[in-house]
Amino acid sequence: MWNLINELVVSKVPEGFKKALDGVGLDVLDDGVAIKVGNEYVVMTIDSYTVKPLFFPGGDLGSLAASGTINDLLMMGAKPIGIVDAVVVEDGFSTEILDNLIKSLISTAVSEGVAVLGGDFKVMPKGSLDGVIITTAGIGIAKRLIIDANIKAGDKLIVTGPIAEHGSTIIASQLGLLDRAKGLMSDVRSLTKYLLPVFDVYGDYIHAARDPTRGGLASTLNEWVIGKELTIVIERGKVPVRESVRKFLDMLGIEPLGVASEGVAVLAVDPRVVDEVLNMLHELGLRDSSIIGEVVKPFSKLVEGKVIARTEVGGLTFVEYSSSPVPRIC
């Protein structure tokens, strides 16, 4: 995906137009972009959502679109303040279903104190679109930015909850296995009430933040170190995975590290405060938060820009960049 973005977009934009007003943009390829206004940053993000099925245990396309955009703003260190949406449906799409999806989007945003500012609506000829696509753009304000490019050797890695829950639920739904795979439920949710308090206190010590959606934890960690003189080492046994998710993915031969989450964040934290950050996350209700590894200087050229996992039996293995095992997952 990163290579495609670089080839189609980044390489074609002149150097002076990849960011604006002392902000960040295509020069860093983060979860959003930022423009500096006075002593603060206006942060913006945009994403399209096209999950199938539209309704799944734990959420739906509407809550997914709102939560995903809110979380992308958070990952830049911003307080989300508003979203706009663009909805495209095919001719003949159920107005009742559309009404439920939009209600879910609005209620998710409002529950997080985020305004729904406006939007757009289009209808495509029947057969030219598979149902509905919702695109949401968000805007937030940050006093200081969290930019993933600032990750550095020594940083400890925190995962704020069990991984792979959203992707597992969608895979089971698409394969018609929900009745057999008991206990699966998407983790779709906004992380505002958990992360903003942490960022207010420890924002200067958090060097990278990402919600591991498409491609899961594996892709997030690989993107953080690709092309850098850094290596990430994680402890497989410390990565939180619910037993129901582990059993289901084991049955299909799918690695949990490569499966999407929608209510989890990965943080790269200065080692001097990592225990304090972890304790605060626990106090805020994220009891499954765990330190799963660290960023190190590569001990060999072979591991430079790579992610390595120490297995439960003590061996080392590469964690490869992952694409989603199924389409239409988020």
Q: What is the pLDDT of residues 7-45, one digit of tens each?
A: 778 788 888 887 887 888 888 878 899 999 999 999 999
239, 159 Cβ separation under 8 angstroms: yes
Q: Residues in the chain with pLDDT < 50?
A: none
Q: What is the pLDDT of residue 253?
A: 94
Domain coordinates in residue numbering, the chain:
2-142, 148-318
**Phi, psi (deg, nearest 5) at residue 139:** -135, 140
Count the neighbouring beta carbons within 10 Å of the beta carbon of residue 251. Answer: 11
The three-point CA angle 240-191-100 to 5° equals: 110
CA dist., res. 183 & res. 209, Å (int): 28
The three-point CA angle 267-220-210 to 5° equals: 40
> What is the token pair recorded at 317?
């293995």
For residue 112, the 8-state DSSP code is: T
Range 2-142 classified under CATH 3.30.1330.10:
yes
Q: What is the pLDDT of residue 199?
A: 98
Q: What is the pLDDT of residue 325?
A: 65
CA dist., res. 65 & res. 134, Å (int): 7
Give the CATH architecture of domain 148-318. Alpha-Beta Complex (3.90)
Q: What is the pLDDT of residue 29?
A: 79
